[in-house]
């Protein structure tokens, strides 16, 4: 029954969104992690999503090209660090200040992260509902003939 696949698809969506929530949590937690050099400073992290297409069929690859199939869920290709510029601040009294008296603050935009967090939790919720509906449909099928 192909309804089983809905569970995999919604599950992949939930795991992708929870990973996104993880990066948001990491970004917010490290929003004020300062360092004395550009290289060591924390940079905002974001996951990159991509659609999964069915490629593992017995006959070696799918019969259909990605254009002809609907896809099997979402996957996280990787996590990228933001290229936005870091924020140097002149704080000579800071214990982490370098010789010139500067400390570097991460390029985390907390407002952006909060918006990201809400979008992720909404998406997660939607996927849970999809799974729940599929469960109801499957349970209904089990009563066939009764």
User: Is residue 27 part of the contact set for another protein (CB under 8 A)?
Assistant: no
Which residue, 120, 118, 128, is CA-closest to 18? 120
Q: How many C-alpha atoms does 24 have within 13 Å on its Cβ side? A: 18
Report the C-alpha dihedral over residues 137, 141, 142, 143, rounded to 10 degrees.
110
User: Is residue 118 part of the contact set for another protein (CB under 8 A)?
Assistant: no
User: Is residue 114 part of the contact set for another protein (CB under 8 A)?
Assistant: no
Size of the site for another protein (CB under 8 A): 40
Between residues 20 and 86, which has the closer beta carbon with respect to another protein? 20
Q: CA-CA distance, 99 to 136, in Å (whole number)?
A: 65
**Which range binds another protein by CB under 8 A, 26-34, 80-88, 102-110, 135-143?**
135-143
134 contacts: CB under 8 Å, gap ≥ 6: 3, 6, 7, 10
User: Is residue 59 part of the contact set for another protein (CB under 8 A)?
Assistant: no
Among 38, 50, 115, 118, binds another protein (CB under 8 A): 50
Helices (H), 35-144: 110-142
Tokens representing residue 82 in the block = 């933001």
User: Is residue 136 part of the contact set for another protein (CB under 8 A)?
Assistant: yes
**Which range binds another protein by CB under 8 A, 16-24, 31-39, 96-104, 106-114?**
16-24
Tokens representing residue 40 in the block = 């060591």
Q: Give the interface with another protein as residue ranges (CB under 8 A).
A: 1-3, 5-6, 9-10, 12-13, 16-17, 20, 48-51, 64, 68-74, 119, 122-123, 126-127, 129-130, 133-134, 136-137, 140-141, 143-145
């Amino acid at each position: 029954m192909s309804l089983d696949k809905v569970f995999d698809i919604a599950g992949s969506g939930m795991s992708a969104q929870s990973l996104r929530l993880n990066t948001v949590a990491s970004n917010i937690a490290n929003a004020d992690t300062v360092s004395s050099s550009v290289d060591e400073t924390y940079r905002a992290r974001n996951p990159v999503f991509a659609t999964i297409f069915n490629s593992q069929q017995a006959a070696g690859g799918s019969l259909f090209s990605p254009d002809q199939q609907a896809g099997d869920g979402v996957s996280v290709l990787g996590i990228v660090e933001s290229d936005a510029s870091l924020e140097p601040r002149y704080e000579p009294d800071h214990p982490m200040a370098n010789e010139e008296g500067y400390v570097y603050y991460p390029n985390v935009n907390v407002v952006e992260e909060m918006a990201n967090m809400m979008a992720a939790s909404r998406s997660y919720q939607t996927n849970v509902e999809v799974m729940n509906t599929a469960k109801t449909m499957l349970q209904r099928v089990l009563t066939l003939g009764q």
